[in-house]
């Protein structure tokens, strides 16, 4: 009898070849899926905000030890001290210490002479600082103050600021609510050019030290002040020479910590309060585009004059902005992780994508979201701005030379070389179309056999690559800065500390450049931070610049306790 299929005994049969293959494939698939799940869970745990803060830990507050015998910052917020602070601050604003882009050498350009006023200002306003610190004039108006500490094993603390301010165009003065160099106090705010940038921090540093020295403070750690006078025009006359002086005196990597102007405290980063010291700084380069042609009479013009050709070059440049990119070296990467971990109101989808930025698909979504907002776009993008163009001398003469200047702020992951390549890519087809040769950063190019009808020359000026990034992992200087920020801005007697929410501290990036560019060799611990609440500071570099007096007092309190904490830490 022939057995039916259900009657066949298969208990001792060996799997056929195809069945073996299926079993192997199934086993492999199950193994892979299990591995992926385990790995995924591991990666998620590494960025889970409930994992003990591995991604963005909350730094403990650091209050100075009372054993140093110094008063707490409470008295700084008393009415009696407010009046003294107000007087010191407004006097500094009343000095019209403007630096202009076309300043000549110190000693040759009389516009520098106004900076002499700061010698008498500091001497009369802060007599204890002036008598206890050694003062060295560097390139005439650069000021280096040094107070030697008693413990030579401790590296010095370097605090920096600058005395110069940006110009106030004559045709805008009438639009100011109060004259820009009056230092007017309206009962809440101090108004004037430099009220925030950077005479708030400048004066607060001196105030805090005057208060400490008045109580008999003798530091263990040497304190150095580096006061530049041309930060607004790149610091080549001031901070550059100060940096060289300090390098010669103390040596490379000799400074414990450098604190300069930079980010501030934002009360609303996705619904939470964040202090954002910049641990990095974008690069910088200006590209000059010069177009030279033969000119001629305007009654017989070509289809495009040199100005018209330059317009096409500008159009080609602006039509292709730089693509945003976000690499882990960029401090903004870490800032986003901290915001995802601690912010209250971040969009859930954005939070999820930030937490999984190790995946390229998630990172692309984060980049897209950040780049859509003009206020955050340039933390992850190189910026290009056509700021200056000039050419032509007479209405009936064709312009023989046109010059355009394009400013670039370079993001981490890019370089000056890449900027040059992009500009050349924009210029080349225009030059070829109009029969022009190119001198591109020292390399000559011609198109075709005919004699060129003109030349485009590309040059760069003041090139600066992205700054070295200050490490924050297991860095005691980061804990010192973060802990002091939290202590002062959460616990002080400031009028703003009523119902103060926790302040999270996260690294960020400066989109502009500071005097720190000239101090890179002195320390790896460079922080750019304005100890002020951004909600009480308005219109930096603009009409009606102003800062709340209580915000300034918090800045004084910060430096007062920061110097104490830096002195007490090993």
Q: So which residues are the catalytic ones?
A: 164, 231
Buried b (16+ CB within 10 A) or exposed e, 195-220: bbbbbbbbbbbbbbbbbbbeeebebe
Biggest CA-to-CA distance, the chain: 122
Between CA 162 and CA 146 the distance in angstroms is: 16
Would the annotation count 197 as a binding residue? Answer: yes
Positive/negative CA dihedral, 31, 33, 38, 43: positive
Would the annotation count 297 as a binding residue? Answer: no
Give, for 554, the enclosing helix (H) or strand (E): helix 549-568
Block residue for tokens 């937490």: 355
300: which DSSP letter?
S
Residue 191: C-alpha distances to residues 41, 90, 194 (Å): 54, 9, 9
Would the annotation count 162 as a binding residue? Answer: yes
CB 554 within 8 A of CB 532: yes
Between CA 136 and CA 255 the distance in angstroms is: 18
* Rg (the chain; Cα; Å): 30
- Tokens at 124, concatenated: 């009369």
Residue 274: C-alpha distances to residues 243, 336, 484, 555 (Å): 31, 11, 14, 16
Instruction: Output the known binding site for Zn(2+).
Output: 162, 197, 232, 260, 541
């Amino acid at each position: 009898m022939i057995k039916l299929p259900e009657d066949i005994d298969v208990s001792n049969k060996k799997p056929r070849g195809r069945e073996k293959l299926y079993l192997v494939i199934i086993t492999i698939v199950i193994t892979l899926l299990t591995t992926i799940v385990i790995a995924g869970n591991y990666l998620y745990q590494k960025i889970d905000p409930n994992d003990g803060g591995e991604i963005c830990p909350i730094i403990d507050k650091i209050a100075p030890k009372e054993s140093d015998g110094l008063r707490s910052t409470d008295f700084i917020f008393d009415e009696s001290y407010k009046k003294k602070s107000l007087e010191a601050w407004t006097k500094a604003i009343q000095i019209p210490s403007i630096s202009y882009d076309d300043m000549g050498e110190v000693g040759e350009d009389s516009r520098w002479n106004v900076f002499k006023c700061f010698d008498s200002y500091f001497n009369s306003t802060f007599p204890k600082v002036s008598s206890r610190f050694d003062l060295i004039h560097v390139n005439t108006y650069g000021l280096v103050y040094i107070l030697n500490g008693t413990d030579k094993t401790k590296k010095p603390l370097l605090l920096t600021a600058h005395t110069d301010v940006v110009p106030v165009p004559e045709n805008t003065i009438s639009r100011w609510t109060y004259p820009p160099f009056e230092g007017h106090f309206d009962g809440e705010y101090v108004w004037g050019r430099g009220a925030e940038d950077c005479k708030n921090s400048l004066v607060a540093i001196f105030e805090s030290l005057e208060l400490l020295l008045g109580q008999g403070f003798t530091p263990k750690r040497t304190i150095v002040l580096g006061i530049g006078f041309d930060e607004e025009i790149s610091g080549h006359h001031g901070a550059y020479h100060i940096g060289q002086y300090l390098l010669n005196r103390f040596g490379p990597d000799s400074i414990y910590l450098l604190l300069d102007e930079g980010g501030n405290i934002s009360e609303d980063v996705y619904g939470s309060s964040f202090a954002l010291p910049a641990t990095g700084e974008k690069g910088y380069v200006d590209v000059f585009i010069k177009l030279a042609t033969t000119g001629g009479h305007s009654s017989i013009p070509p289809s495009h004059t040199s100005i018209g050709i330059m317009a096409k070059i500008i159009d080609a440049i602006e039509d292709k902005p730089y693509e945003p990119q976000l690499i882990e070296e960029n401090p903004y990467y870490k800032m986003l992780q901290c915001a995802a971990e601690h912010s209250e109101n971040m969009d859930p989808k954005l939070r999820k994508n930030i937490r999984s930025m190790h995946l390229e698909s998630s990172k692309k979504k984060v980049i897209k979201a950040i780049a859509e907002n003009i206020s955050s776009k340039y933390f992850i993008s190189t910026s290009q701005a056509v700021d200056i163009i000039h050419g032509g001398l007479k209405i009936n003469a064709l312009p023989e030379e046109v010059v355009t200047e394009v400013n670039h702020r370079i993001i981490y992951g890019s370089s000056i070389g890449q900027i040059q390549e992009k500009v050349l890519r924009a210029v080349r087809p225009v030059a070829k179309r109009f029969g022009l040769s190119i001198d591109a950063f020292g390399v000559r190019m011609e198109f075709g056999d005919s004699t060129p009808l003109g030349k485009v020359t590309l040059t760069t000026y003041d090139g600066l690559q992205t700054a070295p990034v200050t490490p924050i992992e297991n860095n005691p200087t980061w804990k010192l800065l973060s802990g002091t920020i939290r202590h002062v801005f959460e616990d002080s007697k400031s009028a703003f500390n009523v119902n103060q929410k926790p302040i999270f501290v996260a690294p960020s990036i400066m989109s502009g450049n500071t005097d720190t560019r000239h101090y890179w060799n002195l320390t790896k611990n460079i922080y750019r931070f304005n100890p002020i609440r951004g909600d009480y500071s308005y219109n930096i570099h603009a009409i009606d610049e102003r800062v709340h007096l209580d915000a300034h007092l918090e800045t004084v309190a910060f430096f007062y306790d920061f110097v104490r904490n830096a002195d007490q830490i090993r």
